[in-house]
Amino acid sequence: EDQVTQSPEALRLQEGESSSLNCSYTVSGLRGLFWYRQDPGKGPEFLFTLYSAGEEKEKERLKATLTKKESFLHITAPKPEDSATYLCAHTNFGNEKLTFGTGTRLTIIP
């Protein structure tokens, strides 16, 4: 059965303390791996799409990478405004339903 698991569930970092969030997947025929950011009381906001192992994408302090079994969202020198829940999601070949993991709640302490 296709499954996406995110870890950790919650992460507290000091401002400037770099770290990584993990999204492990056991998906047959992965088509796309997506990262979203969600602020409290709002809908998810798109960050990145990754399609093949070895692919990397960057946006400001965030970098997403993809291997054959997992994706990482690296955050470098985070700021308090990076505090949010980060969600990964996937689609499969032959099934374009967008399926989400349970998310990592990131808190950056000033």
Partner 1 sequence: NAGVTQTPKFQVLKTGQSMTLQCAQDMNHNSMYWYRQDPGMGLRLIYYSASEGTTDKGEVPNGYNVSRLNKREFSLRLESAAPSQTSVYFCASTPGESEAFFGQGTRLTVV
> What is the nearest approach in angstroms of partner 1 to the Cβ of residue 103?
5
List residues binding partner 1 (CB under 8 A). Answer: 31-32, 34, 41-46, 49, 87, 89, 91, 96-103
The nearest distance, CB 85 to partner 1, in angstroms, is: 9
**Closer CB to partner 1, residue 18 or residue 52?**
52
Q: How far is CA 82 from CA 66, 92, 107, in A?
A: 21, 29, 8
Q: Distance (Å, rounded) from C-alpha 79 to C-alpha 99?
A: 29
The answer to whether residues 35 and 47 touch, using CB atoms and an 8 Å cutoff, is: yes
* Nearer to partner 1 among residue 16 and residue 29 (C-beta): 29
Output the six-digit token pair for 64. 């997403």
